[in-house]
Amino acid sequence: MERIDVCLIALRRILRATELHGKELAQSAGLTPVQLRVVQILAESGTSTGGAIAKRMHVAPATITAMIDKLQRSGHVARQPSHIDRRQTLIALTDKGREALKRAPDALQQRFAAEFEALDDWEQAMIVAVLERVAVMLDAGDADRGAVLYPGDL
Amino acid sequence: MERIDVCLIALRRILRATELHGKELAQSAGLTPVQLRVVQILAESGTSTGGAIAKRMHVAPATITAMIDKLQRSGHVARQPSHIDRRQTLIALTDKGREALKRAPDALQQRFAAEFEALDDWEQAMIVAVLERVAVMLDAGDADRGAVLYPGDL
DNA sequence: GTCTTTCGTTCGACTAACTAAACATAGATC
DNA sequence: GATCTATGTTTAGTTAGTCGAACGAAAGAC
């Protein structure tokens, strides 16, 4: 078997193992999986507009409006009108939103951390290096995906 | 910053980069994300009962029944009564289901493969080793999660 | 041979996610 | 200033996923 295949299989196993908990992860944060992704995106970008989020998630703007409505009602995000362009509505995390994010990763953290700490020093170092490498490889592949049509534009 | 933190951050980046495409991955297979997971589970276990799938996905049996109904109508899976225990309904992938699976991973594959092939030999070897290691760590953490209550049992 | 448990299913119902289309408002262009 | 374009929203509707409860049939216990 080719090395690349072994790699991909391992990657898929990693994905599956964690994806399994995507739902639980979100629930532990008091959110739905999709809502958690919105919150994660906001955490990265600091403040964003609805349209930007829509593009990143590959959904129609109307979908984001509905989603932000819910997150606003639950107190996780806040809308504030933009002063530079008054058509835009800026969306930002509230403290509650940031707290939810902190609670979310615990499941993954706890599962991985215990085993990781038990490893030899050199092995830990190697894992860190490789995971970073792979992350960069995948992130890079993601970069050219910024401008994408809405599903409805197809 | 602790090494474990670097690790977790990298892991989350990997997850996010690929998770982003969970939907597209499924769509390229002509399935919804949840349906794809059912198909994946069936591909692993060969043949399974509804209850087993329900437990693995942490959902109620009724949910699986509905899902299998859809997958059966679309021709991806087939039901066959069990001869050993006639209460059970065995569920198996059809050829169409297996084909769908083959189409699904292409997106991830193509993105990762190109960059991977360009790496030095020793680096490839290291990545393979580490990814396998991490996969085992996460799979193992998953193993003791076999017997879980239905959501409704809580 | 009854009693209990297990298995999948049906039914009715709810929620989340998502969309297209129409709309109001605000920049941009000329 | 009139026209085009971009932005977010409302509305009305769809689809997928999910569940609890009730159910029938089969297996297991005793």
Which tokens in the block code for residue B53? 């799938």
Count other C-beta atoms under 10 Å from residue A24's C-beta: 14
> How many domains are contained in chain A?
1
Mean pLDDT (whole number) for A101-117: 73
Domain that holds residue B81: 22-103
**Residue A52: pLDDT above 90?**
yes
Is A55 in contact with B20 (CB distance < 8 Å)?
no
Report the mean per-residue pLDDT for chain A.
81
The phi and psi torsions of B57 (rounded to 5 degrees) equal: -100, 0
Is A54 in contact with A63 (CB distance < 8 Å)?
yes
Any idea what DSSP says for residue B152?
A: G
Q: Which residues touch strand C (CB under 7 A)?
A: A 32-35, 57-60, 62-63, 66-67, 70, 85-87, 150-152; B 23, 49-52, 54, 61-62, 64-66, 68-69, 79, 85, 87-89
pTM over 0.85: no
pLDDT band at A105 (very low <50, low <70, confident <90, very high): low
Q: Which of B10, B113, B132 sits opposite A10 (nearest CB)?
A: B132
All residues at 6 or more sequence positions from A10 whose CB lies less than 8 Å from its CB, including other chains: B128, B131, B132, B134, B135
Asked, for residue B1, whether it belongs to a domain, the answer is no
Asked, for residue B65, whether it belongs to a domain, the answer is yes
Segments of chain B scoring below 70 in pLDDT: 1, 16-21, 105-109, 139-154
Beta strands in chain A (DSSP E): 47-49, 77-81, 89-93
pLDDT tens digits, one per residue of B14-23: 776 666 567 7
Is A125 in contact with B130 (CB distance < 8 Å)?
no
CATH number for the domain spanning A48: value is 1.10.10.10
Which chain B residue has the Cα nearest residue A7? B128
